[in-house]
Structure 1
């Protein structure tokens, strides 16, 4: 039994304490989640504020690419372990949102004719989308599994359509 008071939820009995802790903290890999978002967010922030951080284009470019690469290795090592639903939500949120930012940066670089930074943002898009594509492919399965799912789906639709057609006299 859990009691509600001014301090929040507090377990009343020792038996409920473990269930209470699991409910409160269901992120199994907080460091991996933190660094996953940290590396991605840092790369975006460095791109946005690079003029204030350093005048060196090369230093900024290398820093952005290293941050995006570190994110890949952090997530790759954690993906081999059992994760919770919260870990999964954080992972997919970062994996989907950041490529959208880099896609926007490509568009803004093209519109502003900032060709120098276009190479950096294209690298960001390529690294982020490759990461997203790889994990989506792992989640859905290889090309054969995906092809079989599509074939089965369209086969069932065609079969239902044939069955629903009126028969001749």
Structure 2
């Protein structure tokens, strides 16, 4: 069977000032936003927990697949996946565009991608805490599943961004070290000279 997917490095160029992939961007937001809305308001429309559970899980599954396989590749030039080799060993692969190809990414789409990717797990984390302290085990299970699915995509794309062989904590530490060094260097460059100057003696 022929592969009809778009090659990883051959997406169309974006027009200046416009979203490069407006429909992809819409679907990047649609499933996860709808899942959150349904989770919050499903009690208003249905008393059946099973119906609400199935609806949210379906939305989360569609969101996970869409973000993992489509929106990350097209919006930010990143992708990750897992495969099992002939020896039964599982391998995780994290890819990102390099060099000039990275410049083809639309900044607006990249901001939307990362904001949605980060904010969504935070919200589900809040829902987990609310269900936990509210003693609602059924809703806790649903929110926890959502947190895992959203967190998996976030983790995968962060690994793509910082490099698959680099630990996230060490990358964060390196980032702050670079910022401190940069700030110190900037302050030293702006500091006034402290050289010795001859003082007038008022002696004629």
TM-score (norm 2): 0.58
Q: Alignment partner for residue 79 of structure 1, among 72, 78, 91?
A: 72
Within-5 A mapping of 1:84-99? 84-99=106-121
Residue 38 (structure 2) aligns with: 46
Q: Deviations over 1:28-69 (max 9, x none)?
A: 111111111111110000000011232221221111111112
Is it true that 1:133 corresponds to 2:155 in the alignment? yes
**1:95 alignment partner, SS class:** helix
Displacement of 1:92 in angstroms is 0.5
Displacement of 1:89 in angstroms is 0.8
TM-score (norm 1): 0.69
Question: Any stretches of 5+ residues in structure 1 without a counterpart?
Answer: 1-20, 158-169
Q: Alignment partner for residue 24 of structure 1, among 17, 20, 24?
A: 17
Q: Which has the higher helix share?
A: 1
Q: Alignment partner for residue 63 of structure 1, among 43, 55, 64?
A: 55
Residue 135 (structure 2) aligns with: 113
Displacement of 1:115 in angstroms is 1.2
**Is the Cα–Cα contact under 8 Å of residues 31 and 60 in structure 2 kept in the other structure?**
yes
Displacement of 1:22 in angstroms is 3.1
Within-5 A mapping of 1:137-156? 137-142=159-164, 144-146=165-167
**2:16 alignment partner, SS class:** helix
Displacement of 1:117 in angstroms is 0.8
Give me the whole-angstrom Cα distance separating, in 2, the residues matched to 1:31 and 1:72.
17
Give the alignment's Cα RMSD to 1 decimal.
2.5
Give me the whole-angstrom Cα distance separating, in 2, the residues matched to 1:55 and 1:46.
13
Q: Deviations over 1:66-120 (max 9, x none)?
A: 1112112222223333541111111101000011110000110011111121110
